[in-house]
Amino acid sequence: MSELSSIISASVFVIVIILIMSEKLHLTIAALLGALILIFTHTITLTEAVEFISKSHATLVLFFGVMVLIRSFEPTKIFEYIATKMVIIAKGRGKVLILGIIGITTPICAVLPNATTVMLLAPLIPPLAEEIGVNFVPLLILMVFVANSAGLITLVGDPATFIVGDAINMTFLEYLQKLTLGGIIAVVSVAIVAPILFRKIWNTKFTHLEDLPHPQVNHPRMLILGALIMVFVLTFFVIGDSLAIPISPASVALLGATLALLLAHHSKIDTVHNILRDVDWSTLIFFMSIFVLIGSLEKTGVVSHLSGILALVLGKNIFVGSILLVFVVGILSSVVPNIPLVVAMVPLLKEYLVNVNLVDSSILDPNYTGQLPPEVLPLFYAMMFGATLGGNGTLVGASSNIVAAGIAEQHGKIISFHTFLKYGLPIMTVQLIISSIYIGSFWLFK
């Protein structure tokens, strides 16, 4: 039965990915249907499915909280107001807007998770694009590329990076010293490629600035209180985990969302029903379903089996292994969301190191607090870069991609798998090649 369960689990996962890539089904329906098939074939139980979701509750709660927070302040028209100001400051030049998006997104993603940054900034893009007469979908995709790339600048910029860093007990300072440069290089590569990938927008020039609509900010007093809530949330995103009594980003986001709902209800600028109705439930259900699919692969031993294959292919050559891992994980991350991918890959990589006798079995303990041998660390660095930058490849590769697609859908446009792939495949290829050179440099200059 266990072998049959493994076959069912792997087959369902592959079929779901194919359905998403072919766009035969909406990605949420495909993932949810796959999760339900696993339950109805008794590959996993409903209780186990709920447990798989609960293991990633922090990600789901974070997304939900930020979605509610942003939606609560839509009636103030602040996003339209900022978008108009950005167009005026750029004097209608498309290339300045593109560089502006890169410049604004990068520092924020250095201190906030990239999907959170996309939730905060993406609502600016549709009105901004509308005012200069261009399609907002490429600009949203650009923001996603920058967000994913900038997530490598610090340990907390991308959930996938943090998961791997936490698994090897890496500190914030150690990350800055060893890997931040690689994140900066990744962002620079996006800026270099942008004039080619986004040529039409880069060359756009809106000349009639006086014809732009000039939206007024509504409910300014409520907006000031909302700004205080945002400052509170952003501050505790950064410092919450380091307090004597740690407060997780998910808890902070949920408190911020509750305060925003209270403010909206009390000021009567909107109703709680309207705000919760407009939450992007499709994105949240997609992630829940993906976590169930990945959990099933772990439970049925597919992940453990893959670790044996990894040991066979890589052997003990860490240099070659690290270079290969950048591309292998990068390609996998382009079809599997990088958060569940690294959750599955971390134990796989640790098992591989034990199997080839490079470390002892104590690292398999979830409560392991020691330091890994320096010579094996580049394998984990490769996983960070591969998972994060590989997420730029396709629509389902990273959580921020799915978030952007949800926001586009709310504004009346669909980011199709093929549309994203047209932009994502070139940037992913360039970034993985650069990253492999960067990871390889750890041997050249050690």
CA distance 304 to 345: 10
> If you search the block for the tokens 């640790």, which residue do you land on?
350
Tell me what pLDDT residue 333 has.
87
| Nearest CA among 137, 173, 167 for reference residue 155 | 173
> If you search the block for the tokens 């860093």, which residue do you land on?
165
Amino acid at 323: I
Q: Provide the β-strand partners of residue 205.
A: 93
CA distance 52 to 306: 20
Per-residue pLDDT of the chain in tens (446 residues, 90 and over written 9): 578 999 999 999 889 888 887 778 888 899 999 999 999 999 999 999 999 888 878 778 888 888 888 888 878 877 667 766 776 776 767 888 888 889 888 887 876 778 877 877 888 788 778 777 788 999 999 999 999 999 899 887 787 887 788 788 887 788 888 899 999 999 999 999 999 999 988 888 766 656 666 667 778 888 888 889 988 887 887 787 778 888 887 888 899 999 999 998 888 888 999 999 988 888 889 889 988 998 898 889 887 777 677 777 777 788 888 899 999 899 988 887 777 778 778 878 888 888 778 888 888 776 777 788 888 889 999 999 999 999 999 998 888 898 899 889 888 899 999 999 999 999 999 999 999 999 988 766 65
CA distance 38 to 26: 19
| 3-class DSSP assignment, residue 205 | strand
In sign, the C-alpha dihedral spanning 26, 32, 38, 41 is negative
CA distance 152 to 186: 8
Residue 309's contacts (CB-CB under 8 Å, 6 or more residues apart) are none
Three-state SS letters, 308-354: HHHHHHHCCCHHHHHHHHHHHHHHHHCCCCHHHHHHHHHHHHHHHHH
Q: What residue spans of 41-77 are helical by DSSP H?
A: 46-55, 57-72
Tell me what pLDDT residue 445 has.
60
Cα angle value 55/58/60 (rounded, 5°):
95
| Nearest CA among 406, 342, 347, 443 for reference residue 144 | 406
Tell me what pLDDT residue 214 has.
67
CA distance 235 to 230: 8
Helix (H) or strand (E) holding 268: none
CA distance 223 to 225: 5
Whole-prediction pTM? 0.77
Report the greatest alpha carbon distance in the chain: 70
Helices 281-299 and 46-55, packing angle to 10 deg:
110
Counted residue by residue, the chain has a size of: 446
332-380 pLDDT, tens per residue? 888 877 777 787 788 788 888 887 788 888 887 767 777 888 888 899 9
